[in-house]
Amino acid sequence: QKEVEQNSGPLSVPEGAIASLNCTYSDRGSQSFFWYRQYSGKSPELIMSIYSNGDKEDGRFTAQLNKASQYVSLLIRDSQPSDSATYLCAVNGEDSSYKLIFGSGTRLLVRP
Amino acid sequence: EPEVTQTPSHQVTQMGQEVILRCVPISNHLYFYWYRQILGQKVEFLVSFYNNEISEKSEIFDDQFSVERPDGSNFTLKIRSTKLEDSAMYFCASREQGELFFGEGSRLTVL
């Protein structure tokens, strides 16, 4: 059974700080990794995708992948109150169907 | 920006009734999906669809569920005889290459 684990939080950070969100996954063959943001009652919104080890930056967001440790993280720099949401880590396996396995999400609260 | 659209946004139904949820995927996408999220729980994969057939389905997607692409634009999820535990948000998603994009969801409430 493939698993994706996240700390449920809430993670509370002050406005302007760096928020660090972490995710581990069980399937060593996983190839594709995604971070989604989900506001309460809304659908998941894709923030970042990462496919190879290392860092990938997009604006205030940096995704980090370490396949040896089966670990993915998301850093949010200069956190804003509008970043307050649940962040979902999703992982795809080796097959081509793109059945994403989601973690339960980490709730982020950015205090003004 | 192209988006996945879903209807209805909210449907209330009686247990045992049939429900059809509709989706219009992004026009150049070839792979379509249904996911669901029970309140307070994880987003769960239901089914993937490619080239007019199911490519994979989860254990949740039993004989009560079916999917169809009746024309060139719509992608539907049918639940034949709804149960209380089918109450959830149902998300349609589509992709062309690597990334999955979700619609706004259809909230199903079974009474």
Q: Do B102 and A44 touch (CB under 8 A)?
A: yes
Do the chains contact at A104 and B95, CB–CB below 8 Å? Answer: no
- Residue A99 confidence class, pLDDT cut points 50, 70, 90: confident
- For an interface test with A, which of B26, B35, B43 has the most A Cβ atoms less than 10 Å from its Cβ? B43
DSSP class per residue in A88-111:
EEEEE-SSSS--PEEP--EEEEEE
Residue contact B31–A98, C-beta within 8 A: yes
What are the chain A neighbours of B55 within 8 Å (beta carbons)? 97
Residue A96 predicted with pLDDT over 60: no
**pLDDT by 10s per residue, chain B, length 111:** 779 999 999 999 999 999 999 999 998 888 999 999 999 999 999 999 998 899 999 999 999 999 999 887 899 999 999 999 999 999 999 987 778 999 999 999 999
A33-92 per-position pLDDT tens digit: 999 999 999 999 999 999 999 999 999 999 999 999 999 999 999 999 999 999 999 998
Query: How confident is the model at residue A47, as a pLDDT?
Result: 95
Residue with structure tokens 């200069």? Answer: A78
pLDDT digits (tens, 9 = 90+) for B13-32: 999 999 999 999 998 888 99
Q: Would the CA dihedral through B35, B96, B20, B16 be positive or negative?
A: negative
Handedness of CA B2, B102, B39, B68 (dihedral sign): positive
Q: What is the amino acid identity at position B102?
A: F
- Radius of gyration of the CA atoms of chain A, in A: 13
